Structure 1
Amino acid sequence: MGLDLSTLSKQIREMSQAAAGAAAATASRALALRAHYLEADGNEAHWAQAVDLSRPTAQWLLARPIEPIGTVRDLPPPPAAYALVATDGSQIDLDRHGSVSCYLLNIGQVFLRYGHQPTARLTSQPTLYYREEDLYLREGSRRVAIEGAYLSARRDVEEGVALAELADEYLTDDLPALALQDGTLIRWALAGAERFVQDFFLEPYLGYLEQLRRRSLPVASYISRPQSPEVMGMIRLMLCPDVDVAAGQGAVCAECSDIRAGREASCMVCQGLVDADILGAGLAEGQRGPIFCSMSRINLERYGPHLIHFFYLRVARELCRIEIPQWVAREPDLVNQVHTLVYDQAVRGDGYPVALARAHEQAIVRSADRRAFLRILEGSLYRAEAPASSSAKQASKQFPRS
């Protein structure tokens, strides 16, 4: 039996009405909290200290202000000519029901140059991983499979390494330039991983950032429709009755004073809101907001001079998050370069950076490509007289009973 569309349409109408009501309530809360946030403009040092004090005990993510929190920067003038490189990746996951243990990463690579000698280079690089050392990480008797979040982390690392190689090959010092990635530069998936797992992924990843740092070539990442709550975390501290910077006291979430007093926690008004809800209203087209430092544990403990900072940028109706390493954030000229080049790319791409869109197109593994890959794989295993039997579950999906 198919969908009962008449029943479903009623549920959809109910959901739409609920969504409209929730949006209105969210907008009202965001407006009040934004006013509270702006009252702290000029008092960033105080709240930076509050963030430092609260980081060990706060049960939410935090951002540390680097610039005045009311900062609004207009779009810098774009250069007459510039160049950039971008990467994006996709994968065919390890299939434990398949004929052989392997996975594939495909990295889309793009070089674009604008100005009096415009040019473009679009390629992709597929790599098949099947060796024991490709499938597992080992430390002594410990063995950790590279799958799921760790496979995604490997793809992120390969994207970064490819980005640095592209920069070395194509970007010279005669033009303003940028190395651009999609998504976050913070490897959140590794936050709770064992140390040897973190080392395996982060050493080459931080190595690529260091390679770009030595060339003073700015690297940035672009996050569309961000849901980050780190600035909101700082606003929660502004509402917290336990925070007392003069006394060296941060948030004490385990024993919230409001809960002890029989009241709802003061910060509950922030529940469900994200940074964009607060910062978006203050930014006009092309403007960016203040720079913050992400206080995530893996960022603080593992990134060193590449500590990830971020700011928000208005591109049409969307507020995007731009992440940059600390060595970029500390150089106003490099920040301006990131600001204007990312915005120019987004305008050229109708709201999303054209270099990243082209890199995605090069990287994506479409259904036809996936089927062709599996046919080649099965045929090669057959000719090599290698064991090539899939699981019964897989066979039942491929050849269902009539």
Structure 2
Amino acid sequence: MGLDLTALGRQVRQMSHTAAADAASSAARAAAMRERMLTEVGAEAHWAQAVDLSRETAAWLLARPVEPLDTVVDLPPLPPAYSLVATDGSQIELDRHGAIPCYVINIGQVFLRYGQAPTARLTSQPTLCYHDEDLYLHDGARRIPIEGNYLSARRDVDEGLALAALAAEHLDGSLPAVALQDGTLVRWTLAGAERVVQDHFMSQYLDYLEQMRQRQIPVASYISRPRSPELVGSIRLMLCPDVDVAAGRGARCDRCSDQRAGRTPSCQPCQGLVDSDIMGERLRDGQRGPILLSMSRINVERYGPHQIHFFHMRVGRELCRVEMPQWVAQQAQFVDQVHTLVYDQCARGGGYPVALARAHEQAIVRSADRRAFQRLIESSLYRAEAPGGVSAKRESKEFSRG
């Protein structure tokens, strides 16, 4: 029997009514929390201390304010000419049931120049990874497989190194420029990794950021429809009865005073809200909000002078998050440059940066490409008379599909 759309339709209608009610409730709570945040304008240093005190004890993510919480910055003037490089990556995962253990990382690369001498270069660079050092990290007697989140971390590194190479080739400092990536610059995939894995990937990733700092090319990333609750986490501190900066005490979620007294936690109204709920109503098209520092553990402990800052920006009906390293966030000229160039890219791309859209098109590996790659491997192994064969599980699936 196929999918019963009639029965599913009733559930969809119920879901729609629930979503509408939830949206109304969230909007009301977001308005109240926004007003609470704005009452603390001028006390940013106090709440920065509260964030520092609560970083280890709060059960939620936090952001430290760098600019006044009521900051709203209009779109800076667009320069008559500018350059931009961007990368995006895709991969063919390692298949343990395939003919030979290997994976592919494909990096889409884009260089764009606007103005009197416009130009564009779009390329992709595939890398076949099959050596032992590609497949495993070595820690003494242990071999740690590079797959799943660790393969994503490897791809992140390759994207960054490719971006640095593009910048070295195309950005000579004669025009305002930005190096742009998709998604977050905070390497969340490594947050829970053991130290040897973090050291391996973070050292390479930070080397890429250092190359860009030395060349003074601002790096930024674009996140569409962000769901991060870091600013909301800081607002929760404003409601927390346990926070006492003068006494050197932060939030104590494991010993919450409200819960111990049998009360609903004071921070409950923030539950389920994200930063875009708070900032969305404050920004008009092209405007950005305050710069904030992400207080995620890996960012604070591993990034050093490259700690990732961010701001929110209105692009049409969508609120996006733009991230940048500390050395970019500390230079007003760079912040304005990132602000206006990223917005212009969104305007040219129908709401999403055109350079990132082109980089994605270059990077994407489609199903047909994956099948062709597998056939290429099998035929090459056969001609080379090399050992190799798919597993019985793979053969069974192929037979069933046929």
Answering whether residue 334 of structure 2 is matched by residue 330 of structure 1, we say: no
Q: How does 1:30-49 map to 2 (within 5 A)?
A: 30-49=30-49
> SS where residue 358 of structure 1 aligns?
helix
The Cα offsets for residues 296-330 of structure 1, whole Å up to 9 and x where unpaired, read as: 11111111110110000100011100000000000
Shift of 1:195: 1.6
The residue that corresponds to 2:26 in the other structure is: 26
AA matched with 2:115: G
- Which whole-Å CA distance do the structure 2 matches of 1:397 and 1:19 have between them? 40
Answering whether residue 377 of structure 2 is matched by residue 377 of structure 1, we say: yes
Shift of 1:386: 2.0
The Cα offsets for residues 91-116 of structure 1, whole Å up to 9 and x where unpaired, read as: 00011111111100000000000000
- Which whole-Å CA distance do the structure 2 matches of 1:150 and 1:268 have between them? 35
The residue that corresponds to 2:160 in the other structure is: 160
- Which whole-Å CA distance do the structure 2 matches of 1:54 and 1:164 have between them? 36
- Which whole-Å CA distance do the structure 2 matches of 1:23 and 1:358 have between them? 34
- Which whole-Å CA distance do the structure 1 matches of 2:265 and 2:96 have between them? 46
Query: 1:11–1:40: structure 2 CA closer, same or farther, 3 Å change rule?
Result: same
Q: How does 1:347-386 map to 2 (within 5 A)?
A: 347-386=347-386
- Which whole-Å CA distance do the structure 2 matches of 1:208 and 1:56 have between them? 29
- Which whole-Å CA distance do the structure 2 matches of 1:141 and 1:240 have between them? 48
Q: How does 1:54-133 map to 2 (within 5 A)?
A: 54-133=54-133
The Cα offsets for residues 133-185 of structure 1, whole Å up to 9 and x where unpaired, read as: 10010111222110001101110110000000000001111100110000000
- Which whole-Å CA distance do the structure 2 matches of 1:132 and 1:194 have between them? 20
> SS where residue 399 of structure 1 aligns?
helix
Shift of 1:196: 1.4
Shift of 1:241: 0.3
> SS where residue 226 of structure 2 aligns?
coil
AA matched with 2:340: T
- Which whole-Å CA distance do the structure 1 matches of 2:401 and 2:219 have between them? 53
Q: How does 1:3-402 map to 2 (within 5 A)?
A: 3-400=3-400
TM-score computed with the length of structure 2 as normaliser: 0.99
> SS where residue 112 of structure 1 aligns?
strand
- Which whole-Å CA distance do the structure 1 matches of 2:212 and 2:131 have between them? 30
AA matched with 2:51: V
> SS where residue 172 of structure 2 aligns?
coil
- Which whole-Å CA distance do the structure 1 matches of 2:384 and 2:264 have between them? 67
| Cα root mean square deviation, aligned | 1.0
> SS where residue 400 of structure 1 aligns?
helix
- Which whole-Å CA distance do the structure 2 matches of 1:310 and 1:171 have between them? 24
In structure 2, stretches of 5+ residues that fail to align are: none
AA matched with 1:393: K
- Which whole-Å CA distance do the structure 1 matches of 2:387 and 2:91 have between them? 24
- Matched-pair identity in %: 71
- Which whole-Å CA distance do the structure 2 matches of 1:284 and 1:159 have between them? 32
AA matched with 2:189: A
AA matched with 2:112: L
AA matched with 1:151: L
- Which whole-Å CA distance do the structure 1 matches of 2:391 and 2:5 have between them? 36
Aligned residues: 402
Shift of 1:401: 8.3
